[in-house]
Amino acid sequence: ESSALLGGPVPRRWRPPCWVDAGYWQGAGTVAWLSLGYPALVLAHGLVCVTAWLLVVLIPVAKLSARTLTRVLLLPPERVLVRRLRMTEVPLEGEVILCCYRAANPYYYKYAVDGINVFAVSILSWVGEEWARDAALYTYPPRSSPPVPCLLPPSFSSFSSSISAQSNFAVGAVVNATFGSITELTFYITALTKGGSREGNRCYAEIVKSALTGTLVGCVLFIPGLCMVIGGIRHQEQRFNSRSAGVSSALLFLSVGGVFAPTLFSKVYGKLVCGECHNITQNPLGHYLCHNCHFDLMENNGTLYYSHVQPLVYTVSLLLPAAYLIGLFFTLKTHSHIYDIHISDCHMPGHHHSAVVHWSRWRALVILLLSTLCMSACADLATEHISPILTNSTLSQYFIGVTVLAMVPELPEIVNGIQFALQNNLSLSIEIGNCIAVQVCMLQIPILVLFTIFYPTNFTLVFSDLHVYASMFSVVLMNYTFMDGKCDYFQGTVLVMVYFILLAVYFFAPSPSGC
């Protein structure tokens, strides 16, 4: 409370100091400065501002440069004094127009512009640059590397937390996964149309299958595991909604079983065809050593595939979306109270942070939709650069599919999941990964099958054995880990290590035959 002897503050209308003296703008020196000196400094400070902003940790320098351009350089020189002062040494008649305590701060990775993370704002410039370059060089051969920065969406933002805070975390996770699936489907369909049908290269179909499997395995193992590890650094033990995780696990078992049913069917009833066989016993009835063996579904004019496997694929593609809709109705309508269960703070070590509502529901949805459209446009650019990678890279195409093409579009989910885990909201982190994995099997793959009906491609719902084993093992391990409803950094480390082991298997695996 202020003393009665001092009186209250006197309101004063602020005006820019550079407008105090109108005669300053009419002087010849001012005109010369604005014509010759100021433009050069605008270019220099603008370059410093953009560079410092992109580096994130130097955002204070970017703010200094921006304020220098808009205010300091427009002041009369005799009114600007650059000195090192303490707070108590500022004269009463003076005014602080520019002040900085630290030029760099590593914690600026948390900085947000109207709810959008600073990394997303920086990436927007890369997206525009790639679009402009593609428009200018569309007649030239594509570059040798995909525009990976453009695959990063312009919304490392808080739309998931805003939506979930106004409803429940299941709604936020479903919306997040749905818009992410739109982007991935755009990439897959563009790759199949530009590569598979036009060039007649079946390797594009194998790349798409690898990307689908990599997304499934990454969302089941890597995203929850990484969130557990990083969240476990701050919280000794984290609890999550085991009932909601059980529903997602049941959907995952159903979806994985349905997606790989045609593959298992083809292994049982398909004929094993070998490229080269040698009799190692010199006996016509003896043993043969064969190489390049595989199950052929197109033998006898494809009777097995067109009469048995393809109808099974269509049946599965109809049943899986129906099961997903039933699951949505269960989680969002009839049993939504399951997702409203919150673990009490007294049973949770560490402080539980409530979600912050940055945007309204409609604003979050509109921004998310615009971000999805931008990513879809960038996915079209990325598909143009797959061919040089397939022909020039020495890496296994399986490895390229399950890493770069699968996990780069999932970076926003990884970032959001880590943020929620640090806030002790592990339920939302786990649900984001599970929703994406479920949508890969129950929505993305059926849509790709439907697309191949109207636009024939080389895509068939028959996966390699490596994809089948990796996916099934990942789902079983994830379900075992989430049984007790609590976790720590050790369990997360196990999931992450298993994911890296599977990546090592893909790295040393040979490329698909014919690629």
Q: Could you tell me if 492 and 224 are in contact, meaning their C-beta atoms sit under 8 angstroms apart?
A: yes
Q: What is residue 86's predicted lDDT score, i.e. its pLDDT?
A: 65
* pLDDT tens readout for residues 203-212: 788 888 999 9
What's the CATH number where 199 sits?
1.20.1420.30
Q: What is residue 125's predicted lDDT score, i.e. its pLDDT?
A: 65
Q: What is residue 143's predicted lDDT score, i.e. its pLDDT?
A: 47
Query: Is residue 197's pLDDT more than 60?
Result: no
Q: Could you tell me if 203 and 220 are in contact, meaning their C-beta atoms sit under 8 angstroms apart?
A: no
Residues 79 and 161 in one domain: no
Domain limit, last residue, from 46, 64, 89: 89
Q: Could you tell me if 376 and 186 are in contact, meaning their C-beta atoms sit under 8 angstroms apart?
A: yes
- Taking the CA atoms of residue 169, residue 170, residue 173 and residue 178 in that order, the dihedral angle to the nearest 10 degrees is -150
Query: Is residue 77's pLDDT more than 60?
Result: yes
Report the mean per-residue pLDDT for the chain: 75
> What is the rounded distance in angstroms from the CA atom of residue 197 to the CA atom of residue 355?
47
Query: Is residue 236's pLDDT more than 60?
Result: yes
Q: What is residue 17's predicted lDDT score, i.e. its pLDDT?
A: 46
Residues 347 and 235 in one domain: yes
Any domain includes 128: no
**Amino acid of residue 161:** S
Query: Is residue 139's pLDDT more than 60?
Result: no
Residues 82 and 228 in one domain: no
* pLDDT tens readout for residues 27-74: 777 788 788 888 888 899 889 888 888 888 888 888 888 888 888 888
Give the containing element (helix H, strand E) for 272: strand 271-273
Reported confidence tier of residue 352, pLDDT bands at 50, 70, 90:
very low
Q: What is residue 10's predicted lDDT score, i.e. its pLDDT?
A: 40
Question: Domain of 329?
Answer: 155-258+311-508
User: In sequence order, which residues have a C-beta less than 8 Å from that of residue 423 and are 6 or more positions away?
Assistant: 352, 353, 355
Query: Is residue 171's pLDDT more than 80?
Result: no
Any domain includes 105: no
Any domain includes 470: yes
Residues 496 and 369 in one domain: yes
Domain limit, last residue, from 89, 116, 147: 89
For the chain, the domain total comes to 2
Any domain includes 298: no
Q: What is residue 1's predicted lDDT score, i.e. its pLDDT?
A: 35
Q: What is residue 481's predicted lDDT score, i.e. its pLDDT?
A: 84
Domain limit, last residue, from 51, 66, 89: 89
If you ran DSSP here, which 8-state letter would residue 278 be given?
A: E
If you ran DSSP here, which 8-state letter would residue 275 be given?
A: S
Give the rounded percent of residues in the chain with a pLDDT score beyond 70.
67
Reported confidence tier of residue 109, pLDDT bands at 50, 70, 90:
confident
User: In sequence order, which residues have a C-beta less than 8 Å from that of residue 36 and are 6 or more positions away?
Assistant: none
Residues 346 and 224 in one domain: yes
> Structure pTM?
0.72
Any domain includes 316: yes
Any domain includes 514: no
* pLDDT tens readout for residues 302-320: 677 788 888 999 999 999 9
* pLDDT tens readout for residues 312-351: 999 999 999 999 889 888 877 777 776 665 543 434 444 4
Residues 201 and 324 in one domain: yes
Residues 161 and 79 in one domain: no
* pLDDT tens readout for residues 238-276: 887 777 777 888 888 999 999 999 999 888 887 777 777
376 or 222, greater pLDDT: 222
Any domain includes 5: no
Residues 85 and 159 in one domain: no
Q: Facing residues of 486 across strands? A: 239
Q: What is residue 127's predicted lDDT score, i.e. its pLDDT?
A: 61
Q: What is residue 458's predicted lDDT score, i.e. its pLDDT?
A: 80
Residues 81 and 222 in one domain: no
3-state secondary structure string across 434-487: HHHHHHHHHHHHHHHHHHHHHCCCCCCCCCCHHHHHHHHHHHHHHHHHCCCCEE
**Amino acid of residue 341:** I
Any domain includes 176: yes
* pLDDT tens readout for residues 464-474: 889 999 999 99
Residues 74 and 168 in one domain: no
Residues 327 and 237 in one domain: yes
Residues 55 and 196 in one domain: no
